[in-house]
Each structure stands twice: as C-alpha cells, then as structure tokens.
Amino acid sequence: MGADGHIASLFPNTDPQAGDAQPVRRLTPDPLPPEALFDRITLTIPALLDSDALVFVIRGDDKRAVFDAALAGEHDLPIARLLGAAGQEVTCFA
C-alpha cells in the first residue's frame, strides 16, 4: 500500500469500484511517477476480494496512519474501498 492509499495498482485517480465486473484492468496513474512512466495492469477490487484472506505489509508511520484511517472508514481511498468490501480475514504486518 502506498502513502496515497493505493493498493495493487488501484490509484486514487482511477476510481476503483467494488462492483467492477472485470477481474483485471489497465490503468494510468495520475501523475505518473518519474521512475515508472508506464501504464499498470492490476487486479480489480472484486478480484482481490476473491481470496481467502487479505494480507498487508505496511512500513512507515505515514502509511500506517492511512491504513488505520481506512479501517475506521475515514476516507474513500482505494485501500478504504477494499477494506470496506472485505468479508474475509484481514491481516496487517506493520
């Protein structure tokens, strides 16, 4: 998970939806990071949710704050959308 709340390559500007009918999407982050000037291929929220468990490794206080706020429903970033739709076990290593 990134400090901007993205997960996989579901970036805030891509408006990922829990009801997306496609399992995979091609997305363009905006802005494109200078070290990675290319589109991304990612699993959608429903495809990520089609798992037995969700496991996150969160490094850094800034990312932990975003993750905790997502768990509390305090924003609408991709991580919050994923966690809000999750019905399976969620494990976070921080």
**Residue 29 pLDDT:** 87
Rounded to 5°, the CA angle 88-7-67 comes to 70
Q: Where are the domains of the chain?
A: 12-93
pLDDT tens by residue, 46-90: 999 999 999 999 999 999 999 999 999 999 999 999 999 999 999
pTM check: above 0.95: no
Question: What is the dotted CATH code of the domain comprising 12-93?
Answer: 3.40.50.1360
Judge whether 92 and 56 are in contact, CB under 8 Å: yes
**Residue 22 pLDDT:** 96
Angstrom distance (rounded) from CA 20 to CA 83: 15
**Residue 31 pLDDT:** 85
Split at pLDDT 50, 70, 90, the class of 17 is very high
